[in-house]
């Protein structure tokens, strides 16, 4: 099997050189400049996968049967979708507050705490034991109350302590 690829070298705004590999070989239909813009747009997807894998631990299942794996997967996706919808709705309010604020940093919604607050309450909602409008308003208020500052240029080295990502004794409670 022969696979033809195109190698594209980009220089980002901060001067870092990135090398992209693609199967889109036609340089006339897909010019270099298209890739420069597309590269920056990928961050929304990248951060979404980061939330799914590292915060929600979508690969960490509570059992080994196919039914358990499916239930865990769908519960995780449902929780993330509800969180995402609420965050999406709150974005305009947060942006307005950041614009009108005299704080040192702009603030954003805390994904970790938002998921935690939602996990604590979602079972009650799904069992139809609560008022949906009240649940939604309380959750929005709670998520907005737990915002975190955006500190530009902040980086920390990644250190892995355990080669096995999820052990059988470490199960999440979603």
Give domain limits for the chain.
6-41, 58-149
Residue 111 near residue 148 (C-beta atoms within 8 A): no
Q: What is the pTM of this model?
A: 0.67
**Lowest mean per-residue pLDDT among 79-93, 98-112, 158-172:** 158-172
13-51: pLDDT as tens digits: 778 888 888 999 999 999 888 887 777 787 778 888 888
Using CA atoms, how far residue 72 sits from 55, 69, 77, 147, in Å, is: 14, 5, 9, 28
- Count of alpha carbons within 13 Å of 6, Cβ hemisphere only? 13
Q: Is the pLDDT of residue 165 over 70?
A: no
131-153: pLDDT as tens digits: 888 888 888 888 888 888 888 88
Band the pLDDT of 174: cuts 50, 70, 90. Answer: low
Q: Is the pLDDT of residue 173 over 60?
A: no
d(CA 19, CA 6) in angstroms, rounded, equals 10
State the pLDDT at residue 7. 93
State the pLDDT at residue 113. 86
63 or 159: which leads in pLDDT: 63
Q: Which residues pair with 6 in a beta bridge?
A: 22
State the pLDDT at residue 28. 92
State the pLDDT at residue 11. 83
Residue bearing tokens 């980009």: 10
């Amino acid at each position: 099997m022969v696979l033809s690829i195109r190698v594209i070298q980009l220089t980002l705004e901060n001067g870092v050189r990135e090398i992209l590999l693609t199967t889109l070989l036609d340089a006339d239909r897909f010019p270099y400049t298209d890739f420069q813009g597309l590269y920056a747009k990928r961050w929304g997807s990248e951060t979404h996968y980061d939330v799914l894998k590292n915060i929600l631990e979508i690969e960490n299942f509570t059992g080994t049967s196919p039914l358990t794996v499916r239930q865990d997967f769908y519960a995780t996706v449902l929780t993330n979708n509800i969180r995402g919808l609420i965050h999406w709705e709150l974005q305009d309010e947060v942006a307005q507050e950041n614009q009108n604020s005299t704080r040192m940093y702009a603030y954003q919604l805390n994904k970790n705490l938002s998921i935690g607050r939602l996990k604590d309450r979602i079972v009650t909602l799904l069992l139809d034991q609560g008022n949906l409008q009240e649940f939604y308003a309380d959750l929005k208020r709670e998520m907005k109350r737990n915002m975190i500052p955006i500190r530009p240029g902040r980086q920390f080295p990644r250190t892995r302590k355990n080669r096995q990502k999820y052990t059988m004794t470490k199960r999440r409670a979603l």
